[in-house]
Structure 1
């Protein structure tokens, strides 16, 4: 990953020969932290194949491609290997990139998962934050066979799981199995068979696996393997954080309304902080808030 920094926002004028590609770190105020995302603020006329090529060239877990329209911004997200239906950290990154150039306010993202409302704001210290509100979340059961396979691939045992937070799959724009471990040490010792997990996830349509440890009633640690995107681990996963919020609400694991903090990326040296707001209304989307900063120079 490109960890170079820049002290100012790149130019909005695309270089000759291709669209301008911005690089931002989401869910952190530090360019060396958070989750890097590629951003193309105007992808008008780009083919699907060209978007995939750009995402592969950027090399981050996702790149967001925005096409302005009368009904909002039409957004597509690509990992280096494939398109994904929704990506939280690339939404936060692209919204901040947009706000730096056009000012704070409200945006509607038209995504493959449905409309996602986004709000941007600038703090008194000059830093930028964005809040996305997910599509309506939902959860589903995780079969005994899939759970056994997940545990085997991860090197976990059933005794590693927190009995108060049972395994489920959760959705807030993309599907994620949610496994909660009772041990922070177990979460820190993540080591898995990437090919085997990727094969299972492709068969089930899962985007990442949300591995979680509950520190206290309002604080969670998370790690997110992402083999379908060709990435061993995501340092911050906004879609999974939103799905976790829906899981907590639907299972009655938090008293709602609530705001919880998800800490991610610490074990891989890219600390990230995701603020997850969970409304009481079961038909309401989950809000995920985070900072973003430029993480590298713009490029073609």
Structure 2
């Protein structure tokens, strides 16, 4: 029988963050079986692990092939399920370096114990995982596509933040980034599910990354996810990585920067995502806590 674990990502509290399914041994499942497990669980994504490909370059016993399924379809990459999986593995094989071969590319993940004893061992705290994205890109969004997105959201153009220009950003999956002019605009999310899903499928988007800038390096975000069969994703690591690339491309932050993203508050599942940018490295690092859901 397939063992399905349940973990939350981007929160040390099982009631916060974004829950994900984790199947540490999916060798007995085909694609239809993985989709059935994900649909039955009902979380926005479930991660399925099998043996690593040859030449992955991971430490012995710490490399894996990972596939991600929403209740409706496979997705190329999922940040919160990556964090959840890394925490689940670290509980079994210890903190340290992991390497995941994903459909989007190779994703290194580092797991550390919080509240450590100074030598990297757990001193009674939890676990924190930080993934390094594949190389990102940012591109323009067409005027007609933007107008359709705003119509599906029910947002007048005047509700956009002029300092946060609409863009499509990628760091393993594609996301349309839209800036809200006020926190109240971000909090009031009621959209046309079918209309937004149709647009997202046409543009090959995984979520919309709706953003309110609360400070120089602090943001509140929300992620509609109709293509995955859920109204909203509570904490979205792939979108956070894409947003990091977006913030760098638009020069919203310095070349070396650490951003804090708050997500899930409006859903009653608060989570915190840390986004790190390093000068000279195009990749984006996204980290957060994780915890098992009993």
Q: TM-score, normalised by structure 2?
A: 0.93
Could you tell me which runs of 5 or more consecutive residues in structure 1 were left unpaired when the two chains were aligned: 1-17
Counterpart of 1:216 in 2: which secondary structure?
A: coil
Q: Which runs of 4+ in 1 moved over 6 A?
A: none
SS of corresponding position for 2:286 = strand
Deviation at 1:233, TM superposition (A): 0.3
- Residue 45 of structure 1 and its aligned partner are, at CA, apart by 3.1
Offset from partner CA, 1:90-142 (integer Å, 9 cap, x none): 00000000000000111111001000010001112420000000001110101
**Distance (whole Å) between structure 2 residues aligned to residue 114 and residue 102 of structure 1:** 23
Could you tell me which residue of structure 1 aligns to residue 37 of structure 2?
54
1:130-185, CA deviations, whole angstroms, 9 ceiling, x for partnerless residues?
Answer: 00000011101010001100111111111111111100000000000000011100
1:28 to 2, 6, 11: 11
Kindly indicate whether residue 69 of structure 2 is the aligned counterpart of residue 86 of structure 1.
Answer: no
Question: How many correspondences in the alignment?
Answer: 278
CA distance in 2, matches of 1:92, 1:183: 30
Paired residues for 1:42-191 under 5 Å: 42-69=25-52, 71=56, 72-124=63-115, 125-191=124-190
Unaligned runs of 5+ in 2: 57-62, 116-123
Structure 1: distance between partners of 2:110 and 2:142: 37
Deviation at 1:189, TM superposition (A): 0.5
Structure 1 distance, partners of 2:40, 2:10, is: 23
Give distance in 2, aligned partners of 1:284 and 1:183. Answer: 30
Secondary structure of 2:66's counterpart equals strand
Q: Which has the higher contact order (CA 8 A, sep 6+)?
A: 1
Distance in 2 of aligned mates of 1:202 and 1:158: 22
How far, CA to CA, are the matches of 2:170 and 2:125 in structure 1? Answer: 33
Structure 2 Cα separation of the partners of residues 165 and 31 of structure 1? 32
User: Secondary structure, in 3 states, of the residue corresponding to 1:151?
Assistant: helix
Give the secondary-structure state (helix, strand or coil) at the position aligned to 2:112: strand
CA distance in structure 1 between the partners assigned to 2:249 and 2:64 by the alignment: 30
Corresponding residue of 1:8 = none
- Provide the C-alpha distance between the structure 2 equivalents of 1:203 and 1:143, rounded to a whole number of angstroms: 12
Return the alpha-carbon distance in structure 1 between the equivalents of residues 265 and 244 of structure 2.
20
Shift of 1:284: 2.5
1:7-42 deviation per Cα after TM superposition (whole angstroms, max 9, x unaligned): xxxxxxxxxxx2110000100011111000000011
Distance (Å, rounded) in 1 between the aligned partners of 2:194 and 2:293: 30
Task: Tell me the secondary structure at the aligned position of residue 60 of structure 1.
Answer: coil
What is the CA-CA distance between 1:68 and the residue it aligns to?
A: 2.5
- CA distance in 1 between partners of 2:192 and 2:157 (Å): 18
